[in-house]
Amino acid sequence: MAESDLAQLTERFDFISERKSSDHPALNCPAGMLVDFCRALRDDFGYDMLVDVTAIDWDVQSPRFTGIYHFLSTTKHLYLRIAVDCTDDLKPSLPSLTELYAAANWHERETFDLMGIHYEGHPNLTRILMWDSYPYHPLRKDFPLAGIEVPLPADDVAEVTKATVIPAPMMGGPFVSSGDGPMSQTEPSARDESWTEKKEKPAK
């Protein structure tokens, strides 16, 4: 049944192409046609629930960001994945689906917060998981896991406690190896080896 849906969709819309996937049928869609395509999905093909909106940062590739949407049809019990490439690498933006699916509201806010993708037409595109004045988009590949030092969001607390948002100390874990190359490089090691218990941390 999923194959017949896929066949019908590729036949009806010529801007859709099939995407390689390990499980559910997946399609590529250009950003400009996304809203119309999703309207057709919801009204004509019965994909009435938007279960997930997210994005992938491909780092050095271009296009750099790909928005991923997962739809579920509650009547046919089928999943569908739609992948949309963002045309602009520096200021990625996609059309918002909030008019079609109310669930898109918070999911798009989260993707904006963590990845920095701007959704045009979103009623309230503000940060949802990080605090409002946070300057970075943490899930991007050029942002380190430990974080970047910024002032604490609350001024009065920062004044009293002298605490700031420090980069988390990675020394001692996580131990991950790179996976390719000679054994000496793939051995598990600390991520930041510039300082240890014996050697002082280098001054900033």
Partner 1 sequence: MAATKEISIGDISARSNAGETELQGETMALNVGPSHPTTHGVLRLKMELDGDVVKKCEPVLGYLHRGDEKIAENMTYNQFVPYTDRLDYLAPLANNVAYAMAVEKLAALEVPERCEAIRLLCCELARVSSHLLGIGVYGMDAGAWTVFMYTFTEREKLYTLFEELTGARFTTSYTRIGGVARDIPEGWLGRVVEFCKGVLPVLDQVDTLLTRNRIFMDRTVGVGVISKEDAIAYGLTGPNLRACGVDLDLRKDKPYLGYENYDFDVPIGTTGDCYDRYMMRAEEIRQSVRIIRQCIGKFPEGSYYAEDARKIFAPQKAKVLTSMEELIQNFMIVTEGPQVPAGEVYFEAENPKGALGFFIVSKGGGVPYRMKIRGPSFCNLSILDKLIPGHYLTDITVILGSLDFVMGECDR
Partner 2 sequence: MHNKNVAYDSKVEGEIIVTQADAVINWIRKHSVWPMPMGLACCAIELMAAGASRFDISRFGMEVMRFSPRQADCMIVAGTVTYKMAEVVRRIYDQMAEPKWVVAMGACASTGGMYRSYATLQGVDRIVPVDVYVSGCPPRPEALLDAMIKLQDKIGRESAVKNLTTKTTTPRELVGAGRES
**Where on the chain is the footprint of partner 2 (CB under 8 A)?**
129-131, 138, 143-148, 152-154, 156-157, 160-163, 165-171, 173-174, 201
Q: What DSSP element (H or E) covers 110?
A: helix 104-115
Q: Three-class SS of residue 190?
A: coil
- 123 touches partner 1 (CB under 8 A): no
- 62 touches partner 1 (CB under 8 A): no
Are 126 and 118 spatial neighbours (Cβ–Cβ below 8 Å)?
A: no
Virtual CA dihedral for 108, 113, 119, 121, nearest 10 degrees? Answer: 80
As a whole number of angstroms, the distance between CA 103 and CA 96 comes to 11
State which of positions 4-33 bind partner 1 (CB under 8 A). Answer: 20-24, 26
Nearest to 70 by CA among 31, 94, 104, 113: 104
Query: Please, which residue, 5 or 57, has the CB nearer to partner 1?
Result: 57
Picked from partner 2, partner 1, none, the partner binding residue 7 (CB below 5 to 8 A depending on kind) is: none
Q: Which pair of tokens denotes residue 193?
A: 């080896």
Q: How far is the CB of 165 from partner 2 (least distance, A)?
A: 5
Helices (H) and strands (E) in the chain, counts: 5, 9
- 74 touches partner 1 (CB under 8 A): yes
Residues that bind partner 1 (CB under 8 A): 20-24, 26, 48-52, 54, 56-57, 68, 70, 72, 74, 77, 79, 81, 101-103, 105-107, 110, 114, 127-131, 138-139, 143, 145, 174, 176-177, 179-180, 186-188, 191
